[in-house]
A and B are shown apart, each in its own frame.
Chain A
Amino acid sequence: MTTIAEPVIRIELLSKQYRMGGELLKALDEVSLTVNHGDFLAIIGPSGSGKSTLMNVIGCLDAPTSGKYWLDGEEVSRLKENKQAEIRNQKIGFIFQGFNLLSRLTAIENVELPLIYRGVPAKARRELAIAALAKVGLEERIHHRPVELSGGQQQRVAIARALAGNPPILLADEPTGALDTKTGKEVMGFIKELNTLGHTIVLITHDPIISEQAKRIVKIMDGKLNEEGGGRLELHSGI
């Protein structure tokens, strides 16, 4: 593959502005960021710092006002809505704070959902979904609905959903925010394990303790990024 050298994410001078009550709000101010294959990046910042906006732009849920964004070698900052949806479907696995599982569907149906939109045939879809659920250790509970699962298990179903389509990047937005400390630790351990398996992970959090588990930490403040260099992963590798 010739694109090995190409980073998964390359953002150049990206800005996002909102107009709020006649006042121009710079949620992102000429941000540049590069994420390589196999990276584990944490973006940390207090609320209102622009990290949600950055996450939306990285996740192709929102288009930037200006600047360039290459995702997996493809320029995605100026795409139409339908194309954006396609990119989200194929390149990004979302792990949300509130799990965002469909409560009416069983675990396996939830995991199958992105594959349905990708147009994977039923049989292959089922196999992929079961494999993804097995990866998160929930092969015994594939027919349970989210209400029948604990918070940690629900987040694992959500991780399985993100993994099912084998996207080049996993985007986790406060993945432990809705969990207690113990299960939060479990889930973080899990995410780290995925990283060691080769998945590229971008984690967004406000919690320094969570962010310290990443290989690389980037601070965001008032719409500007500030690289902290390599994380203190080595110090915490015992956890």
Chain B
Amino acid sequence: MNFIQGFKMAIKSILSNKLRSLLTMLGIIIGVTAVIALVALGQGATKSVKEQVQSLGTNLLTVNILGRGSTNTLSGTDAIAIGGKVNGIKYTAPASTQSTSVKFNTTSVDVNVVGTNADYALVKDYKVSSGRFLVQIDLDVYQKVAVIGSSTATELFGFTSPIGEYILIQGTRYKVVGVLAEKGSSTTGSNDEVVMIPLTSAERLFKSKGVRTIYVQVETTEQIDNVVTGLEKELSSHFRGNTDSYRVFNQSDALSTLTSVSDTLTLALAGIAGISLLVGGIGIMNIMLVSVTERTREIGIRKAIGAKKRDILIQFLIESMVLSGLGGVLGIGIGVGAAQGASKAFNMDIVFSANIILVAFFFSVAIGVLFGMFPANKAAKLKPIEALRFE
């Protein structure tokens, strides 16, 4: 008896008892559905976290200046100077941010006003959609110019071009010289509701010397650790050994922490789903055992007319394999549907990986073989005379 013949027999036997077959498969279906859907959602969450962190800029270090006592003692020029002393730094963008209201004619919005330099756009991966970004000369001559985010532009100016118009920031007139391209939102909020002005003008406007934050772009990922050490050394000497005055925050550390958290979560979900697959397998074994008892006479007849042990074993093994494999296929279908439904309903990201789908399928087939082995062996070992006599 060949495999295809056994396969046909198994399909026939499964179809002859549709409701029972479906109920038997249910355990596997639920298990595979859970694996596919939960892993898709888990990986989707991992991906969106990664993307959000990466949208802040890759190879990005953030230096927070907490200051010493009541004074704020790192000026923009000092920050640039420190950046110049450490090897491996590509861009240094000191920033002084304040949330304030910005007005155009009678419209007014609350946005983050960032005082910074030309490197800021490069570090934060901003693109200019019209006009220009800040340049060094703006800082040098305390220009009152502003570059505004795309959302802010729409809110203040509607569909008219903001370039060349004047906006009021805390009562001071600033000329709009550029509009940024849309960037989307991240964990820290919208990146498009922003107004950027030269750092020197900002210091005057906010009446505060020094910067609170320095964004540093490192040349390559491998240099991040060196740059962190270098920056800490320079800052330490600047603040005379007071390490509480500053923090160097590593973006990729945060990324790996977040990723490992969501990876662990995915693994835990997959584990729970795997257990339900195992329970499904036990369900299959249970039904196969009942089926063997029920079909003792059939086994006897088959053996009497020449079926060998192996033929009966293969027949029942294929049957349980087809049951669980079919359950796996249905589960994959329902799982993909469920994940897509959930992602639409709750606005979540999902990621399907072919690996997980293949693993789920082969795992369910393997469960069929594993849990079918005992009943199939029981069937194969029946003595033909006794099986024939069975009522």
Contacts and interface: CB of A to CB of B under 8 A. Distances in A.
Whether both chains belong to one complex is answered with yes
Interface of A: 56, 59, 61-62, 81-82, 85-86, 88-90, 94, 96, 100-102, 104-105, 113-114, 116-119, 161
**Most chain A CB within a 10 A radius of its CB, from B1, B2, B13, B384:** B384
Contacts of B298: 102
B1 A61 contact: no
B391 to A, nearest CB: 10
B304 A117 contact: no
Contacts of A94: 304-305
A96 B297 CA distance: 13
A16 to B, nearest CB: 12
Contacts of A61: 304, 384-385, 388
Contact of A59 (B2, B300, B304, B308): B304
Contacts of B385: 56, 61-62
Contacts of A118: 306
17 contacts: A61-B385, A61-B388, A85-B309, A86-B308, A88-B304, A88-B305, A89-B306, A94-B304, A104-B13, A104-B16, A105-B12, A113-B302, A113-B305, A114-B305, A116-B1, A116-B5, A161-B305
Given A102-B298, A116-B5, A117-B1, A89 B309 contact: no
Contacts of B309: 81-82, 85
Interface string B341-371: 0000000000000000000000000000000
Contact of B308 (A56, A82, A100): A82
A100 B300 CA distance: 9
Nearest to A171: B304
Contact of B311 (A56, A105, A117, A161): A117
B316 to A, nearest CB: 15
Given A82-B309, A113-B305, A117-B302, 6 more contacts: A61-B384, A62-B385, A86-B306, A89-B305, A100-B388, A116-B5
Contacts of A62: 385
A82 B310 CA distance: 9
Nearest to B6: A116
B301 A100 contact: yes
Contact of A85 (B13, B297, B303): B303
Q: Which 3 A-B pairs have the closest CB atoms?
A: A89-B306, A117-B306, A114-B305
Nearest to B302: A113
B22 interface: no
B12 A104 contact: yes
Contacts of B307: 85, 89, 117
A59 to B, nearest CB: 7
Given A61-B385, A102-B301, A104-B13, A114 B306 contact: yes
Contacts of A89: 305-307
Most buried by B among A96, A113, A116: A116
A32 B112 CA distance: 109
A101 B305 CA distance: 11
A94 B307 CA distance: 13
B310 to A, nearest CB: 7
B120 to A, nearest CB: 75
Contacts of B1: 116-117, 119
Nearest to B17: A104
A89 to B, nearest CB: 2
A67 to B, nearest CB: 18
Contacts of B308: 81-82, 85-86, 117
Contacts of B310: 82
A18 B2 CA distance: 37
Contacts of A81: 308-309
Nearest to B297: A100
B99 to A, nearest CB: 76
Contacts of A88: 304-306
A100 B5 CA distance: 21
A90 B385 CA distance: 18
Interface string B274-313: 0000000000000000000000011011111111111100
Contacts of A56: 385
Interface string B301-338: 11111111111000000000000000000000000000
A102 B297 CA distance: 9
A54 B369 CA distance: 39
